[in-house]
A and B are shown apart, each in its own frame.
Chain A
Amino acid sequence: MHEITEHLVKNFEGQLPHLPGSDLNWVEAMRRSGLELFNDVGLPNTKMEEWKYTRLRTLEDTRFQPVNEGNGAAKVDQLPTLFTGQKEIPRIVFVNGCLRTDLSDLDNLPDGVLVHSLSGSLAYDPVWVRSYLGRIGQMDSRPLFALNTAMMNSGAIVRVRKGVIVKSPIEMIFVAGLTNVPVAYYPRNLIVLEENSQATLINIHDGLGVGPYFANSVTEVDVGNNANLRHYRVQTENLEATHIGSMHVRVANEANYETFSMSAGGRLSRTEAFVRLEGEGAHCRVNGAYFMKGREHCDNTTVIEHVVPHTKCREVFKGVLDDEACGVFQGKIIVHKDAQKADGHQLSRALLLSDKAEMDAKPELEIYADDVKCSHGATSGQIDESALFYLRSRGIPDALARNMLIRSFMAEAFEEITDEKVRDAMANLFMHRLPAQCFLSEEWTRDKLSNE
């Protein structure tokens, strides 16, 4: 076994009794099969096609330790919510992989909606959990999914019962950092929307302070017949964090799945969405936005499978890369043999603010049916110099003009978010991280003074 692989699963036997579901044989068996698979395959490396553009250097270089209860007690001064001050929004909060009941608030959950931690759910209704957990995503050839399965230590389990329509968004917040040594934690989420139900869920991953940590998160999603799930994701990890988050989704008859992944932090991050359109009339929208600077690396990898006829997907990823940042987009649409009348559209657009920034885009269509409508496009480019000059010729300072052009480029991506409240909050959070946001008055004043 490779040294790094060995290190990540060190003390597995020692930790096992303390992990959620330790009293359930099937959970232990699941963990052991994950461990075995991870040991067999090892850490992903750039020789694997799916990992060609993303080298897990941070995992190779740092020896991450398992989290302990002390890490979970870290002080959180400001909760990274999209809805500051709005107490009516239900939320479940984990800090360094530990449930924090003092920060969570699930009092306002409507009837028919169940939100538990992984361990809470395994205690409350293990039979139900067993019928979904580990059964939606494919672990094979996905070593980090397997590692998560072996080590899963936190996460939220959400069940929306048949016909229940949840109006308010529900937040699942993961905060990490402020530990003495680099730690690894493994959230495992399960979201089940039963027939005819509707909900909006938001996963937030935020980092505290500085110092490296490794968040390896897996979310399994089941969208039942005629159900409608909006599933948003905010990644604002700290500067040294490694974040790998994967979503494994199946969408049933006439159901809708919409996701939007915003990545604006982390030293190295990868967001994966594996969506299977398994029911006729199933529809998914898989979108995202990213802003990377310094030497940050951000990877968005998606695989959307049209399994049956009359399914539809739309995919839009847009991002901004500054300094020496690197972006990766790998988007694959697979149309199975029987999936006639599939409708797929994919777009990746990157804006490079520096000569040293890099974008690797790999759009792929794999079509086995003969009556389909599929398109894809990928572009990366720089700020339009003629637009920049036009703005500057009207007196708008260079930095603000650039900011306006970046904003307008990104605004189009956020239009893809159909929940207006979430769209505004996410766009606002994103735009405030862009370069030169508050550049204007200072620079302008300074210039003026030096002229006089």
Chain B
Amino acid sequence: MLEIKNLHVAVDGKEILKGIDLIINAGETHAIMGPNGSGKSTLSYTLAGREGYDVTKGRILYKHQDLGEMSPEERAGNGVFLAFQYPVEIPGVPNTTFLKEALNAVRRYRGEEELDAMSFIKLVRQKTKELGISEDMLKRAVNVGFSGGEKKRNEILQMAILNPVLAVLDETDSGLDIDALKIVSDGVNALRSPERATLVITHYQRLLDHIVPDYVHVLANGRIQRSGGKELANELEEKGYSEFAEAAE
């Protein structure tokens, strides 16, 4: 589903990713772990198509199409979803309006009928209930005045509504208490299926107790230094990243 080949990415002329190779097949969940500043967030923004993240070498194929050729909205239309590490506050736009515009934009792109107000409300009610999100959070402006945990839950709500094929979760566990972590993880796990794939980007192992990955990769200094099964996460939790930081020097 996703094939990253020798990916080099520069931000403001500085090379951050220095040759990433990664293949994710449908039905798989991969985790990328790494120390701060290793390029984890650069990878997630590059996948979502943020301006200023220049692919200088290599490429990303998504469902055999060149992802780099697509605008952020086309990527979303094609099923790519990024749960932001720092969800953006948008004053003046009610959360519901945002969700409805997003869902209908994606549905239009996919050649599906737009949802009418009634069906939309029904869908949102069901998802908010599952994720333990209050109605109040829907009425407020997007992420404005939300606590860290509320913001992350709101990301998962968007994911549940947009129903992506490839979900990229960037540090979704940061700022979450145990209960919230459980809710968010359940939301992610509910979406796992043979047709979809998930890429979990995290600094800590604890999220991977809830969203159990098939593969774990260690990213340091802009490259994947090591790959393995879920046991690699536990090893990292014990030993830390110092080994890789040294290797990169």
Binds B, one of A54-62, A116-124, A300-308, A382-390: A382-390
Contact with B along A108-129 (1 / 0, CB 8 A): 0000000000000000000000
Q: Is A274 interfacial (CB-CB < 8 Å)? A: no
Set B51, B90, B103, B109: member contacting A390, Cβ < 8 A: B90
B101 touches A396 (CB 8 A): yes
**Interface segment, one of B28-36, B81-89, B125-133, B217-225:** B81-89
Q: How many A-B residue pairs have CB under 8 A?
A: 86
- Closest chain-B Cβ to A250's Cβ sits at a distance in Å of 35
Question: Which residues from 87 to 127 on chain B have a C-beta closer than 8 Å to any C-beta of chain A?
Answer: 87-93, 97-98, 101-103, 105-106, 108-109, 111
Query: Does the CB pair A395–B90 fall under 8 Å?
Result: no
CB atoms of A448 and B76 under 8 A apart: no
Given contacts A390-B87, A395-B77, contact A444 B71 (CB under 8 A): no
Contact across chains for B102 and A396 when beta carbons are under 8 A apart: yes
Q: In the complex the two chains form, is B76's CB within 8 Å of A407's CB?
A: no
Bound Cα distance from A385 to B50, whole angstroms: 10
Interface residues on B, range: 20 to 34
Q: Indicate whether A400 sits within 8 Å of B105 (C-beta atoms), given known contacts A390-B90, A395-B73.
A: yes
In whole angstroms, what is the CA distance A394 to B81 when docked? 7
- Binary CB contact string for chain A from 349 to 390 against chain B (1 if under 8 A, 0 otherwise): 000000000000000000000000000000000001111011
A404-B101, A444-B108, A448-B109 given; A393·B92 CB < 8 A = no
Instruction: Knowing A389-B50, A393-B48, A393-B76, say if A408 contacts B92 (CB, 8 Å).
Output: yes
Q: Which residues of B contact A396 (CB under 8 A)?
A: 73, 101-102, 105
Q: Is the interface of A mostly helix, strand, loop or mixed?
A: helix
Q: Does B46 belong to the interface (CB within 8 Å)?
A: no
In the bound complex, CA of A396 to CA of B105 (Å): 6
Are A395 and B102 in contact, CB atoms less than 8 angstroms apart? yes
A-chain residues with CB within 8 Å of residue B108 when the two chains form the complex: 441, 444
Task: List chain A residues, Cβ under 8 A from B89.
Answer: 387
Residue of A nearest to B50 (CB): A389
Decide: A400 near B101, CB < 8 A? Known: A386-B88, A387-B90. yes
Q: Separation in Å of the B51 CB from the closest CB of chain A?
A: 7
Q: Which residues of B contact A384 (CB under 8 A)?
A: 88
Asked if A395 and B49 sit within 8 Å, CB to CB, the answer is no
Report B-chain residues with C-beta under 8 Å of the C-beta of A405. Answer: 90, 93
When chains A and B are docked, how far (Å) is the Cα of A391 from the Cα of B76?
10
Q: Is B187 at the interface (CB under 8 A from chain A)?
A: no
Check A392–B76 contact: CB distance below 8 A: yes
16 example contacts (A-B, Cβ-Cβ < 8 A) are as follows A385-B51, A387-B89, A391-B98, A391-B102, A393-B50, A393-B76, A395-B76, A395-B109, A400-B105, A404-B93, A404-B98, A405-B90, A407-B92, A408-B91, A411-B92, A451-B74
**Interface residues, chain A, with chain B CB atoms under 8 Å away:** 384-387, 389-398, 400-401, 404-405, 407-409, 411-412, 440-441, 444, 447-448, 451
